[in-house]
Amino acid sequence: MSRTPRLHRQLLRALARSAADEGCAVELSHAGETPWATATFTGARHRLHAAADAAPLAHWLAMLPEAELPLAGWFVASCAAEVVSGEAVIELLVLEQ
């Protein structure tokens, strides 16, 4: 059985908790992933879309790259967030532990 659907749910929950902790009621959707690997790590780059009121969303996105996002069996190696054409896009590099 693939671990990917469970990881997607974990990502969405962790991001929603992070947003709530920063006072942002956000609507999230998983927009895709690209496999990623080195000689020592395997994982994927995940792309998500986020929708919320502009001010709370901007605050949360500014804090997000430094946020702790707990994922069982995985870790977030990098996180970037930006607003593109009025839509928030979050990209995370998630690696297997």
Q: Where are the domains of the chain?
A: 4-96
Amino acid, res. 79: C
d(CA 34, CA 18): 23
- pLDDT of 2 reads 57
Q: So what CATH class is 4-96?
A: alpha beta
Query: pTM here?
Result: 0.91
Per residue of the chain (97 residues), what is the pLDDT tens digit?
357 788 999 999 999 999 999 999 999 999 999 999 999 999 999 999 999 999 999 999 999 999 999 999 999 999 999 988 778 999 999 999 9
- pLDDT of 1 reads 37
Residues in the chain: 97
3-state secondary structure the chain: CCCHHHHHHHHHHHHHHHHHHCCCCCEEEEEEEEEEECCCCEEEEEEEEEECCHHHHHHHHHHHHHCCCCECCEEEEEEEEEEECCEEEEEEEEEEC
